[in-house]
């Protein structure tokens, strides 16, 4: 019962706390570290994510994968024969200790803040699963553009939003209009209403300057 109460309180407090401490990297890291240590995100480990792997393999065969905000990675079902290398990045050392304990072959992990992370090599697939809505929209879009520049030829960004038609509709719209190539978009429905969204993105078309970079779109603008 006690742990359930802790998780309930964490759910209520997480968003305002995240907004307040996001500018302070050490406090932000402590917030996530505390939540993982208290089991706030354990429920995510109970369901295997087969959909992401199916989507990856539709676009790239045996990719090098960068997973930003990877968490414990327990719910990512990734057959060893289906990728060349997997690199997970998360701000929580506790989450990454659990990820390493899985002994996933051909894998490496790194403690870092996703928002300021700089990749040092090219990847075929970059995952942002339920990550972008923790950041201000402008910085989330800037992160997408920075990551698009480190994609290998033919590589893709795969972005998941758990509520692309409700609380995060504005962010979904910014993603659609950010100037990157939208290869694919899927919306999951619950009771007839949008309940989640997946975007498969690639670099901006050659010679096209991203609209977000020119400042021609405002935070409140809609497509």
The model's pLDDT over 179-196, given as tens digits with 9 standing for 90+, comes to 999 999 987 755 555 557
pLDDT of residue 7: 42
Pairing of strands 193-202, 181-190: antiparallel
Give yes or no for residue 141 having a pLDDT over 50: yes
Give the predicted TM-score (pTM) of the model: 0.78
Give yes or no for residue 177 having a pLDDT over 90: yes
Q: Which range scores top for mean pLDDT: 94-98, 132-136, 212-216? A: 94-98
Backbone angles phi, psi at 34, to 5 degrees: -65, -40
Helices (H), 22-122: 25-37, 50-59, 93-101
Backbone angles phi, psi at 165, to 5 degrees: -115, 0
């Amino acid at each position: 019962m006690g742990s359930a109460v802790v998780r309930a309180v964490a759910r209520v407090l997480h968003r305002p706390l995240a907004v307040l401490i996001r500018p302070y990297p050490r406090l932000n890291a402590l917030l996530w570290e505390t939540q993982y240590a208290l089991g706030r995100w354990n429920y995510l480990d109970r369901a295997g994510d087969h959909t992401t792997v199916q989507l990856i393999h539709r676009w790239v065969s045996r990719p090098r994968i960068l997973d930003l905000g990877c968490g414990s990675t327990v719910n990512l079902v990734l057959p060893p024969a289906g990728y060349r290398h997997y690199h997970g990045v998360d701000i929580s050392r506790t989450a990454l200790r659990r990820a390493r304990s899985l002994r996933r072959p051909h894998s490496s992990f790194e403690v870092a803040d996703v928002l300021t992370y700089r990749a040092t090599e090219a990847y075929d697939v970059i995952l942002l699963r339920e990550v972008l809505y923790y950041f201000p929209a402008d910085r989330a879009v800037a992160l997408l553009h920075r990551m698009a520049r480190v994609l290998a030829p033919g590589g893709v960004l795969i972005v998941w939003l758990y509520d692309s038609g409700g609380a995060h509709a504005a962010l979904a719209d910014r993603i659609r209009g950010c100037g990157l190539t939208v290869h694919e978009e899927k919306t999951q429905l619950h009771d007839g209403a949008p309940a989640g969204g997946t975007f498969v993105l690639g670099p901006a078309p050659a010679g096209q300057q991203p609209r977000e970079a020119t400042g021609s779109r405002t935070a409140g603008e809609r497509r």
